[in-house]
Structure 1
C-alpha cells in the first residue's frame, strides 16, 4: 500500500520539496489547504490541494528518463478531475516566487492553464501537464 511509501517520502523530502512545502503549508497560499506526499488511488503525489483539485509535482533530472510514466500518471489524475502542475526542482530552488505565482494562478483558475506545457528539457515546467 502507498501509505507507508507516502510516510517515507514525507520523511525524506528533497531540498526543493522542503522549500515549497514551507510556503504551501498552513494555508499560507490563498488560504488553501495543501497536503504533501499524499496518496491518490495508486499514486503518491508531491502536493495536493483537494478543495481546488490541484496537484503540484516537483521533478528532478530523473524525470527526463521517465516521461511516459509521468505523462500516464498526469493523464490518470486528470481523469479523476485533478489539474497537474509540474516544476523542475531547480526552478523551485532558484526562482520560487515565479513557481508560487503559477500555483496561485492555477488556484484562481477553474480550468486548465491557457499555456501549453513546454516539451521536456525546453524551459521551465510551470504549466499544467
Structure 2
C-alpha cells in the first residue's frame, strides 16, 4: 500500500490559515486557475505533499506552482527552496516557480508556461 503523502491531518489547520491569507500574487493567480479555467485542469491551493505546503497543485499533471516574493531572495531561503524542490521532484512532481511580480506584469505568459507542462 502506498504511503499517504497528500494533505496530512497535522497540516490541515495551517493549510486553512494560508488559504484565508493568500498573498496578493497568490490571490491573483488563483482567480485565473480556479474552476478549471486553465485548459480544464483542476488546481488546489495550499495543498500539502509530505511535510510541505505548496501554493498550487494540479493532481492530474503532478504539477506544483510556487510563487516567490522578496522573502525568497534570502540565501538561506533559496537553499531551503532548492532542497524542497529536489525532494518534490524526486517524488515525481514537476515544480514551477514564478516571481510574484510576473503574476501582475505578465500573467498571460505565466499561464502559457504552466499549460506548456500539461501532458496533452
TM-score when normalising by structure 2:
0.88
SS of residue matched to 1:33: coil
> Secondary structure at 1:13's aligned position in 2?
coil
TM-score w.r.t. length of structure 1: 0.82
**What's the Cα RMSD here?**
1.0
Are positions 1:34 and 2:34 aligned together? no
Query: Is 1:60 matched with 2:69?
Result: yes
Q: 1:25 aligns with which of 9, 19, 34?
A: 34
Q: CA deviation at 1:93?
A: 1.1
Shift of 1:107: 1.6
Q: Which runs of 4+ in 1 moved over 4 A?
A: none
The residue aligned with 1:101 is 112
Structure 2: distance between partners of 1:106 and 1:38: 19
Counterpart Cα distance in 1 of 2:48 and 2:12: 7
Q: Could you say which residue in structure 1 is the equivalent of 2:18?
A: 9
**Other-structure match for 1:83:** 94
